[in-house]
Structure 1
Amino acid sequence: MAHAQDRADGLAGRSALVTGSSRGLGLLIARELARRGCRVMLCARDAEELSRAEAMLREEGVEARSLTCDLTDEATPGRLITAVRDAFGGGPDILVNNAGVIQVGPVSAMTESDFRQAMETMYFAPLRLVRAALPGMRESGGGRIVNVSSIGGRVAAPHLLPYVGAKFAAAGLSEGLRAELAADGISVTSVFPGLMRTGSHTAARFSGRPAKEYAWFAVAAGLPGLSMDAERAARAIVRATERRRPELVLTPAAKAAVRLHGLAPATVTRCLTLGARLLPTAGGAPQHNVPGREAARTARPGVIHRLTRLNDRAARRFNQQAG
């Protein structure tokens, strides 16, 4: 009965915890939840970004709090759940696992620590948060968990291997949780976004030949038709959360890729192989973990800027950079 009532009541009055919510998609999901009447807890590592994000939401008159934290710290989930309960008197009723890191470059330029960082951030951190939130959700008779994976969690794009490996793992975890938690009235929604104009190209890290890696990644992430407006994506994710949808794939290109991979995986692999051959090699003296803003300065800025104009604008609007 509690589960059925939860469906009827929608999201108004619920408490929500959104990770990676100081900027980009996480901030937009938090804002959309708040507009639906949720009380929202933001969290991220960068205190300055987080403060700006909380101020942005409060300016809209919504109830928002924030906690600066490192999700890879094993003590963080307990701190976050306690912070939500102290701030809102219970919950969280909704948990959105959105935090992530994007590392771009050939596998030969990556280190094992890159893969471990990706897994800690995008697999183990969500797992710990779910485990911390479950007792309260079971006690209340229901809840909603949203795990933001990626099209990279279904189709393994080259030059993103730490990212796609962690996203594949997160997708499997999400599907398994959905099966196990249904009996408790807890819904689990797996989200597989394609490219979105969030401004994340400025926050990604680039290895190998950073300027060349930045060029293809930034352009692809911002092209209309290939990428999606991030605000529209956030609205779709929140609707799926409200309706307790088991799965959401965003962007026509991502939907096509998922369907083709299911029907003809060998064909998709051949296409990915061709794509990998067109991407930059590591070079004779590969660099490692160069921030996007630094890589952008050496990536033929005039040409790239014209092609990434929409995504650069998104970076400014969605708190990916100060001002």
Structure 2
Amino acid sequence: MVGFGTEKDLGGQSALVTGGSRGLGLLIAARLAVRGCQVTIAARDAAELERAAQWIERHTGVPASTQVCDVREEAAVAKAVRRVATDQNGLDLVVANAGVIQVAPVDALDADAFQDAMSTIFDGAVHVSMAALPHLRESSAGGRLALIGSVGALLAVPHLLPYSCAKAAVGVLGEGLRSELDGTGVSVTTVHPGLMRTGSHLQAEFGGQSSREFAWFSGLAGAPVVSMDAERAAEKVVRALERRRTRVVLTPAAHAAGLAHGVAPTVVTRLSGVANRFLPDADGTAGGGGRIRQGHALNDVPRGGWPEKIRKLGSALNDRAARRYNQMTPGPPTSAT
């Protein structure tokens, strides 16, 4: 594991990280802890949160508090934020990271899949931001808010359409809040990561030919060169918060994709269409009639042929990340049935 360092620029500040029980959120919370923050992690599953808090203390020597909270529920978020602010004598820094990944062709989805993604990713970011802002305005250190977007916010990614739509909305939210809070002492940082080795393929939800979708997604998300080490990503997020950056794009591939889409959106869209032809089709699940399955349910499914070869080629690093970053126990499903 990469050393966490000893920076103290954020020392003594109260921090809340939603989606902080595993993966990128867990690592961001750990980075904040070693910088001297009083860290609270929030997620839906109490047992997963407890394991995450133990992980943080074991790897950093710093205890972390927990809050069970479903970011889709506005009242629950408001209650959790108030409790953190009360327990920590204020709230200085918030990272809205909770999310869900659904991988399937659009022909295998229905409107509910889009609503599920929007509820967790976008509504969740709105609920957290609106509940936290009054406390961040009162921070003597000057409040900091980070919204975790995605390269999927910069261009639509085939077979990740609900996710891309929701992350695009988060990107606009971040830009708008940054503008409207200018001069208030509260900074807003929007982060758009590319592919990262967080082990999230086991928690993601797959439709259509789910085993084949799992194979290409887990392989690509863990492939060297195109994907980023999650610990490096977490460090870059925290540094951006420290420096009150407006916008951060992680991974060279995400930078290139965002730039290309900005300069030549039609060309990029057509290239995405070409890439889509190589991905699995809906295979009789048109209209959302197929079963949505979590990655954990697919990890040990015998595949054979090209799906197995792709997965073995690219997913070794991502599987290791899953073991490291509290991803090995299935979390509560968002849209899986």
Shorter-chain TM-score bucket reads: over 0.9
Number of the residue aligned with 2:41: 42
* 1:299 to 2:303 alignment: yes
Q: 1:199-278 alignment to 2 at 5 Å?
A: 199-278=199-278
Letter in 2 for 1:255: H
Q: Is the 8 A contact 1:17 1:95 kept in 2?
A: yes
Letter in 2 for 1:318: Y
Number of the residue aligned with 1:6: none
* 1:318 to 2:322 alignment: no
Distance 2:317 2:303 in 1: 17
1:208 aligned counterpart, secondary structure? coil
Letter in 2 for 1:308: S
Number of the residue aligned with 1:129: 128
1:157 aligned counterpart, secondary structure? coil
1:184 aligned counterpart, secondary structure? coil
Q: 1:154 Cα deviation (Å)? A: 0.5
Number of the residue aligned with 1:77: 77
Q: 1:158 Cα deviation (Å)? A: 0.9
1:182 aligned counterpart, secondary structure? coil
Number of the residue aligned with 1:166: 166
| TM-score normalised by L of structure 2 | 0.90
Q: 1:273 Cα deviation (Å)? A: 0.6
- Deviations along 1:182-210, one digit per CA (max 9) or x if unpaired, are 12111000100000000001110000000
Number of the residue aligned with 1:4: none
Q: 1:322 Cα deviation (Å)? A: 4.4
Distance 2:167 2:302 in 1: 30
Superposed CA RMSD:
1.6
Letter in 2 for 1:131: M
| TM-score normalised by L of structure 1 | 0.93
Identify which range, 242-251 or 130-139, moves more after superposition: 130-139
Number of the residue aligned with 1:11: 10
- Deviations along 1:8-56, one digit per CA (max 9) or x if unpaired, are x831111110010110000000000111111111011122211100011
Q: 1:61 Cα deviation (Å)? A: 2.2
Number of the residue aligned with 1:288: 291
Number of the residue aligned with 1:5: none
2:207 aligned counterpart, secondary structure? strand
Number of matched residues?
314
Distance 1:211 1:153 in 2: 26
Letter in 2 for 1:180: E
Identify which range, 258-267 or 230-239, moves more after superposition: 258-267
Letter in 1 for 2:264: A
Letter in 1 for 2:303: A
Identify which range, 122-131 or 218-227, moves more after superposition: 122-131
| Residues 302 and 281 of structure 1: CA distance in aligned 2, closer, same or farther (over 3 Å) | closer
Moved over 6 A (4+): none
Query: % of aligned pairs identical?
Result: 50
Distance 2:314 2:136 in 1: 45
Q: 1:27-176 alignment to 2 at 5 Å?
A: 27-59=26-58, 60-91=60-91, 93-140=92-139, 142-176=142-176
Distance 2:196 2:113 in 1: 23
Letter in 1 for 2:319: D
Q: Is the 8 A contact 1:214 1:299 kept in 2?
A: no
Distance 1:45 1:298 in 2: 31
Q: Is the 8 A contact 1:16 1:39 kept in 2?
A: yes
Structure with greater helix share of residues: 1
